[in-house]
Every structure is written in C-alpha cells, then in structure tokens.
Amino acid sequence: MTSPLLTGLNAEQRAAVTLPRQSALILAGAGSGKTRVLTTRMAWLIQTGQVSPQGLLAVTFTNKAAREMLARLSTLLPINTRGMWIGTFHGLCNRLLRAHFREARLPQLFQILDSQDQLSAIKRVMRALNIDEERHAPRQVQQFINGHKEEGRRPAAIEPFDMHSRVQRDIYIAYEAQCQKEGVVDFAELLLRSVELLQANESIREHYRARFPFVLVDEFQDTNRLQYVWLKLLAGSENAVFAVGDDDQSIYGFRGAEVGNMRDFERDYGLTEIIRLEQNYRSFGNILDAANALIRHNQGRLGKNLWTTAGPGQPIRVFEAGSDGDEARFVVEEVRALLGDGLALSEMALLYRSNAQSRVLEHALFSAGIGYRVYGGLRFFERMEVKHALAYLRLAANPDDDGAFLRVVNFPPRGLGARSLETLQSHAASAGQSLQQAARHVALSGKAATGLNTFLLCVDRLRATAEAVPLAELVSAMLEESGLVQHYRQEREGADRVENLEELVAAASGFENDSELSDLAAFLSHASLEAGEHEAAPGADALQLMTVHAAKGLEFQAVFVCGLEEGLFPHENALSEADGLEEERRLMYVAITRARQRLYLTRAESRMLHGQVRYGLRSRFIDEIPESLCRWLSTAQPAWKSSDRFLTAMPKREATTPARSEERPFANQPFRIGQSVSHAKFGAGVVLKCEGSGGDARVQVNFRDAGVKWLALGFARLTPS
C-alpha cells in the first residue's frame, strides 16, 4: 500500500522522499520539483512515524522559502506547525541564541543589526579610532569583517599581511567590543555566536542533536563555510541530513557561498550516492536544451542534464538591436504580441544583469502604456522613517543601543548639534557608559539642553508604555511621542513616509509572536531578520522587471533576457575574479531556466553606460547556445523592410551585417563604430573609434580578451567578422 503522499512523484523524487534514515544529497535541477520533494519528505517522515514534527529541523535562506515550506507542509498533513524549527539560518540562530543567551554571553534582549546598521556602527568605530575613511573605506571594512566571520575567524585568528589589513583587524577588534557593549549582533555574528555556542557547550550540542534526528537544508549550494560548520555541529554522524541543492544554480559565490560544500558534504557524511532530479516540469525542450548546452561549458560540475516530456516547444528568439533604446522597443512590441496571444502581463518577465538596465526598459514600457513592476530597491523595514521609528522602539527595549540613540536623539530635530553630541560621546567614553546613561547623568546635573531632556523623557515614557500596553498601541504611541508623524506631516513630500509609519502600526497589530520573548523584542528581531517584500505592489497585472539574481526560484511563461553583451553579461568585473566567468554562466543558466514557454535573448550593439555610449560584442553566452534551437530576429536590415522586421527569420551572419553608410565617419573607411572585427593576435573585438583616412587611418578596438587598443589600419590585419 502506498501513501497518497507519494502519488504523482517520479521515481527519483519518490526515492528521495522515502530514503531511510541516512544523510543524502539531492541534486535538484531547476524546475524539478525541489520544494515538493522537500516538503513531502518532511510529511513522509512524520506520517510514517519516524519523527514527530518537533524532531524536524528545516533550514532555508529566505523567509519566503521558509514560509512556503511551512504552508505546503500543512496542506500535506493536518498538523500544527507552530513551534516547528523551520526557518532561515539566521532566524534559527536567533532562536538558539535567545534560548541560551547567557551561555552565548549576550543580553536577553540583544538587538540585531541589519547591513545598514552594521555599516554605521563600523563608521562610528572608525571615528572613535580616528581612522581616515578615505584610506580605509567603511564598506571594505564591513566586507573584511563579514568575510572573516563567515570563515569563522575572530580577530585573534587573523594574520595581518600589511598595514591595511592590520588597521582593518584593529577596527574588527574595536567593532566587536562596541557591539558587545551595546548588546547588538550583526547577521554574521548570529551564525558565528551560534557556532561558538555549540562548539563550547557539549550539553547544548547534544541536546539539539538528540532533538533533531532529521535535518533538511534547502539551496545547499548557497551555504557559506560558517553555515556548513553550523550544520555539522547540529547534525552529528547520528543525524540524517537531507541536503537539496543545485551546483549549477550557485550564483552567490561573491557573497561567500561555497559550492564546494556539496563535495565536502559527500565526503564528510560518507555519502554513497547522489540522487539527481533531472526531469523538469517547467520548460519546453528547446529551453532546456539551451540551458544544458550552455552550462556544459563549465568545469567541475557534479553533472546533470535536464529533460522533459513536454516536447521542444517554440524556438528561442534572439534579437540584436542597434541600441539599448531599440532593444527596449523590440521588447515592447513582443510584449504586445504576447498580450495579443492571451498571455497575462504578470506571466512575463524582463531579466537583466544589473539594475541600471531597467531605466531604458521602463522608459519604453511607460511610453507604451504597459504596466510594469520593478523588483529591488528599498524594502519596508529598510526605509529611513521606519528605521527611525524602530530606533525609538529599540531604545525602549535596550538602553545601551548607542546606534539607535544617535539615530534619533536629534530626529525630529531638537536643536542638538554635532558639538553637544561630541561632548556627550566623550562623557560616555570616559565613564564607560552608554550614551543614554551619560545623557541621563548630564540631565541630572541640570546642565543638559532642553532638547536632550525632551528626548530622554520620551524614551522613559516609551519604556513605561511598553510594559503596559499591547505592541500596536506602543508603536502608535511612539509615533506621537517621538514627534515623527508630526514631523513628516509638515514635510512637503512626507505623505508617503507618514503612510509607511501608519503601515508600521498595522504590521505591529498583525504581528504574531511565536517566541518566548516579549512582543516588542520579537517584533524588533522580526524587523531586522525580515526586511519585508521588495517593493510589493501586488494586485495589478504587471510585467515583472528584475535582475537575474532576483529571479532565482521564480518562473514565467515568457522571459526576456536583456543586455546580452560582453562586459555586461558576462559582467566585465567577473572576468578578473576566480570562478567569475563560470558564476556568470550559472547566472545565465538561472535566467534561461525561468522560462516556461517562450524565451527571448536580446542584446544591443550600443548602449548608454555611465553617461557614455559603449559598444559591446555579442555575449559569448548567446554563442554557446546551439543555433538549431534559435530563431534569429533582426533589425539590421534596410529601413524599407522595417514593417516586418520583427517577423523575419534571419541567419546569424546577416544579423550583424553592417549598416548604413551615414554611420561611418568617413565614407572610404572600411570600419564603422560598433562593428565586430577580428584580429589575428587579439581575437574578437568591436570598433570604438575611427580616426584619419587612407594610409593614416586608425581605429580603436575593444577586444574581448585583450582590452582596448589603437590599431593603425596600414599595419594591423583587421578583418570584419
């Protein structure tokens, strides 16, 4: 008798779901039913009595993924998922550290710094140490600190190799001390503290190992070193780790993700086999063939080939536009055509490598009256006014939080200038107190400015209110007491901000606290750990615009991948990084595999970038896709045929055929700007500039591999390509 849980699963999925109690690596291709396998596995383990819901630990990277897992699990089984350990690495670490705050040497109400908060904390440390921000960019320092933390290194374990790294290490030391004193932890610290807690404390470690016989990990290819160490501490040899991932979709290496963890996992847990989920339920064959062909250019893969029973479907449409504007207009035309075919706007996506590309696309869409939605940008809890409001709440919860103090002590303005804060800071430093303590000291002596007194009274009232009323009421009171709402009401463009502040009250009243903490403390954790949706404006049917990174995990009926030019995608910066090109290729792989029915690949011969026109070569990624899967559409035809230019299938060669003579600076010159050329030594390139004529003619060429060079046409053997 088979469980209804297993119906509809293919053989590999079923094998994965019903694995006995052992560690396993599931290599899950794009669109292969990864989440289904993960959630069904959990349901299966519970239903077959192998574990109780409390004995499962499932970890994801995003809150969204965690929520989805939870939601799908409860549709599979009628269980109460409350209290289950399903969450993000950071969320679960937060839980762990709250439960063992003493052993972790943290105050019970420690606050969590998001990246913004961390950066300003680092700047504060640097100012205190009198370190020049010109010589040591705070952002670099932030990367230095996070990089080391993610490798599990405290300052003592760092060997400085020059002055620069020595200074950075010193900042790291002072930053740690400051965080400890203020009772705050950054994202990486959540992980590192948890790891150290588990390492140092055998009884705690054994407690969790006994509690969670089954550990499941989503998007395993995105784990960094520290997260893997964390996993190994929670799951010893007796525990069964079910890790699901896809090395071909590893696109966060630049943030410290370590694909090598997959190989290490195989070795460390003595895995004998990998289960591959290769049947794809999302895309038509041509799209999958393109993805497979592309990714085969990468070395050292675990190896995987996507297939489908859906048939080949439509060819992949490739379009080479003259300019970024033309590219955008082509997209508009095609979107209109797809709308005519009955596709909803929200079923179509425009993907690009970098956010700056959205501008031209948006402009064209706006002119055409096509509704669109851009992902990215600030999220709810990252907005300035919301951060200000949260700072008041943080001060009510934790009087030592100097970051919060500095953020709002003079906001709304209370006449406290830089000099009064400076004296306050030196008072605090010499007395070893927090700013709030020092401020109270000054206030008691009667020498404080009225603004400071007002502020301290406000914080006092908030602290008292926090104990007495429900969270939403506290937030509402805070908005009034602090003067934030009043301040933004007066401001000319403050209406949105007021609205966001009111939204914060709504968020507080809808907040469900499933922790042991007070509502306020839990809400503050929530605000740091879950910054909210990226620019959520749901409801309306709109075309989806986002970076390829943001598209990971999503799918659309039609996908446009725009800006497929050398230097942009693959990005030029990536070429100089170790594994950079391969990561770019994986990114392209992710982009392609988002499409269900229709895939468009577009590029522009010229593009406005940093205020300058740039000429890029066609991306190598286009060339890595077999021509037999593609249909080339081209604009590079005589103008009189332009009425049907989008419908004409063109062979590849003709697509780049140059061009009208008026584009040439000199009529007798053999090369024009933007033309693709090849050179015996330097290889493929594109013409940037033409100068002179006849025997003196020179051209500047941007070579794919050799960079920008001037060539004298009298000598150089340059041929059109």
**How many residues of this chain bind DNA (CB under 7 A)?**
49
**Helix residue ranges per DSSP H, 25-79:** 34-47, 63-76
Q: What is the largest CA-CA distance in the chain?
A: 88
* Span of 58-66, 301-309, 328-336, 513-521 interacting with DNA by CB under 7 A: 58-66
At 699, give phi and psi (nearest 5°). Answer: -130, 145
The mark string for 254-283 relative to DNA (x by CB under 7 A, - otherwise) is xx-x--------------------------
CB contact at 8 A, 390 and 524: yes
Enumerate residues 6+ apart whose C-beta is below 8 A from 56.
42, 45, 46, 84, 85, 86, 212, 214, 216
* Active-site pick, 13, 14, 34, 383: 34
Work out the angle between the directed axes of helices 384-397 and 450-468 (0-180°, nearest 10).
70
CB contact at 8 A, 42 and 54: no
* The binder of DNA chosen from 117, 182, 189, 219 (CB under 7 A): 219
To DNA, the closest distance from the beta carbon of 451 in angstroms equals 7
Closer to DNA by Cβ: residue 73 or 574:
574
Distances (CA, A) of 18 to 13, 47, 630: 9, 11, 40
Closer to DNA by Cβ: residue 343 or 443:
443
At 381, give phi and psi (nearest 5°). Answer: -75, 0
To DNA, the closest distance from the beta carbon of 224 in angstroms equals 8
The mark string for 316-355 relative to DNA (x by CB under 7 A, - otherwise) is -------------------------------------xxx
Residue 106 to residue 90: CA distance in whole angstroms: 16
How many CB atoms neighbour CB 202 within 10 A? 9
* The binder of DNA chosen from 61, 144, 372, 703 (CB under 7 A): 61
180 as an active site residue: the answer is no
Instruction: Give the rounded distance of the alpha carbon of 150 from its chain centre.
Output: 17
Residue 107: cis peptide before it, omega within 30 degrees of 0: no
Work out the angle between the directed axes of helices 187-200 and 138-150 (0-180°, nearest 10).
30
To DNA, the closest distance from the beta carbon of 590 in angstroms equals 11
Chain position carrying tokens 């972790």: 104
* The binder of DNA chosen from 192, 235, 244, 529 (CB under 7 A): 529
Closer to DNA by Cβ: residue 119 or 293:
119
437 as an active site residue: the answer is no
* Active-site pick, 18, 35, 465, 637: 35
Does position 608 interact with DNA (CB under 7 A)? The reply is: yes
Closer to DNA by Cβ: residue 276 or 383:
383
Enumerate residues 6+ apart whose C-beta is below 8 A from 258.
223, 224, 225, 228
Residue 663 to residue 347: CA distance in whole angstroms: 39
Residue 514 to residue 518: CA distance in whole angstroms: 10
Does position 135 interact with DNA (CB under 7 A)? The reply is: no
* The binder of DNA chosen from 117, 222, 326, 334 (CB under 7 A): 222
Chain position carrying tokens 């008072």: 427
* The binder of DNA chosen from 115, 140, 423, 509 (CB under 7 A): 115
Enumerate residues 6+ apart whose C-beta is below 8 A from 213.
21, 51, 55, 238, 239, 240
Residue 628 to residue 228: CA distance in whole angstroms: 42
To DNA, the closest distance from the beta carbon of 516 in angstroms equals 19
Residue 173 to residue 190: CA distance in whole angstroms: 17
Closer to DNA by Cβ: residue 9 or 561:
561
* The binder of DNA chosen from 225, 441, 571, 698 (CB under 7 A): 571
The mark string for 383-422 relative to DNA (x by CB under 7 A, - otherwise) is ---------------------------x--xxxxxx----
Closer to DNA by Cβ: residue 201 or 410:
410
At 242, give phi and psi (nearest 5°). Answer: -110, 100
Q: Which of 221, 275, 269 is nearest to 241 (CA)?
A: 269
To DNA, the closest distance from the beta carbon of 34 in angstroms equals 13
Closer to DNA by Cβ: residue 222 or 400:
222
* Active-site pick, 12, 218, 401, 565: 218
* Span of 55-63, 286-294, 299-307, 513-521 interacting with DNA by CB under 7 A: 55-63
594 as an active site residue: the answer is yes
219 as an active site residue: the answer is yes
Interface positions, 63-82, toward DNA (CB under 7 A): 63-64
Residue 412: cis peptide before it, omega within 30 degrees of 0: yes
Does position 593 interact with DNA (CB under 7 A)? The reply is: no
What residue type is assigned to position 337 of the chain?
A
To DNA, the closest distance from the beta carbon of 458 in angstroms equals 15
* Span of 266-274, 527-535, 671-679, 691-699 interacting with DNA by CB under 7 A: 527-535
54 as an active site residue: the answer is no
Closer to DNA by Cβ: residue 137 or 457:
137
Does position 564 interact with DNA (CB under 7 A)? The reply is: no
At 697, give phi and psi (nearest 5°). Answer: -60, 135
Helices (H) and strands (E) in the chain, counts: 28, 21
Helix (H) or strand (E) run with residue 490 in it = helix 484-490
64 as an active site residue: the answer is no
To DNA, the closest distance from the beta carbon of 472 in angstroms equals 23
Does position 561 interact with DNA (CB under 7 A)? The reply is: no
- Catalogue the active-site residues: 34-35, 218-219, 249, 594
Interface contacts to DNA, rule CB under 7 A:
61-64, 88, 90-91, 114-115, 133, 187, 219, 222, 251-252, 254-255, 257, 353-356, 359, 376, 410, 413-418, 529-531, 534, 546-547, 549-550, 552, 571, 573-574, 577, 580, 587, 608, 610-611
